[in-house]
Structure 1
Amino acid sequence: MADVPIDGQVLLLTAAKASVPPARLPALVERTQALLEADLERYRRTHERVYAGENCEAFLVAEGHWERLGDRLGVNDRARGAIRRAHEEQLRRIGRRTGREAEFESALEIREPVLVGVGTTERVDE
């Protein structure tokens, strides 16, 4: 099973905002994590890492990145948007907890976040 760096509360909030069934989003995020984990070394080499915690690493990527990932996953626009929003909300949560909220909010105006699970836990509860 992939290490999922998105808190359960974030998944519920995101599912409600994205009109995606709450029971479906965790499976989508887990599928996404499997793909992201396979590319972790590439993310480390080619993208700015803005956070490295015990259970996840967060990267900023160019706009359009989630569209390409959605195509690789074979998901529709609504599902892709929900997965992207889950990553955004989790980065905001990390920002609030680490005193970097303003920095992350500014970054999200021009870039997209990708959080990749690392370690042995299923969820990050920072």
Structure 2
Amino acid sequence: MAEVPRNGRDEGDGVDESEVSDREVGDGAVDNAESDDVESDAADVELPLDGDVLLYTGATASVAPERLAPLLRAVQAHLGPQLDTYRRSYERAFVDDDRDVFLVPEGHWADVAAELGLPDREIDALRRAHAQQLRRLGASAGRREEFETALEIREAVVVGHSESRSDSSIEP
């Protein structure tokens, strides 16, 4: 997993950065007041999502592209300390050196967003980003059909490994 710059995009991904960052998505409205608390300590959190996943999500979700990376970092800061709980409670569909991907019941993202006080359009962006990351990993591992089928009845949650956490073992 490449480290994603603060703007949420890999360098050299073939996309003109000004083209993406200047484009409004959905209604273009951004209400940062609802989620500013969530982001306060998340600025340095590394995202377990690939740059092209962020571009896809920014283009398809009703969250402005410049809002997406801070939102995902804030949620990752919330999910990271819960990695052991996710490992005990949910099916782990994929694991690599940088992240675990879990299949959770439908509605899980709504529950997480309620804990963090996030609006509906941000819930949708989170769901899309994490599902797209699972699809991308599935395509690389020859398991895309399997993951697509799983996503019909469940949601994906990607939790990154932190070198500072003692629970970062990746053994299945």
Q: What TM-score, normalized to structure 1?
A: 0.91
What is the deviation of 1:20?
1.2
Q: Which structure is larger by alpha-carbon Rg, 1 or 2?
A: 2
Secondary structure of 2:159 counterpart: strand
Q: Which runs of 4+ in 1 moved over 4 A?
A: none
Aligned counterpart, 1:124:
none
Q: Is it true that 1:96 corresponds to 2:111 in the alignment?
A: no
Q: Is the 8 A contact 1:54 1:119 kept in 2?
A: no
CA distance in 2, matches of 1:53, 1:119: 13
Aligned counterpart, 2:123:
80
- Structure 1 residue ranges without an equivalent (≥5): 121-126
What is the deviation of 1:119?
4.3
CA distance in 1, matches of 2:45, 2:153: 28
Aligned counterpart, 1:2:
45
Aligned counterpart, 1:47:
90
2:151 to 91, 105, 108: 108
CA distance in 1, matches of 2:111, 2:118: 11
Aligned counterpart, 1:65:
108
Aligned counterpart, 1:123:
none
Higher relative contact order (CA 8 A, sep 6+): 1
Q: What TM-score, normalized to structure 2?
A: 0.67
Secondary structure of 2:64 counterpart: coil
1:29 to 72, 79, 86: 72
CA distance in 2, matches of 1:50, 1:71: 25
Percent of aligned pairs with the same residue? 49
CA distance in 1, matches of 2:105, 2:123: 16
Q: Is the 8 A contact 2:138 2:147 kept in 1?
A: yes
Q: Is the 8 A contact 2:106 2:153 kept in 1?
A: yes
CA distance in 2, matches of 1:84, 1:17: 12
Q: Is it true that 1:11 corresponds to 2:11 in the alignment?
A: no
What amino acid sits opposite 1:78 in the alignment? R
Q: Is the 8 A contact 2:80 2:162 kept in 1?
A: no
Counting helix residues as a fraction of each chain, which structure ranks higher?
1
CA distance in 2, matches of 1:70, 1:79: 8
What amino acid sits opposite 1:27 in the alignment? P
What is the deviation of 1:73?
1.6
Alignment: residue pair count: 120
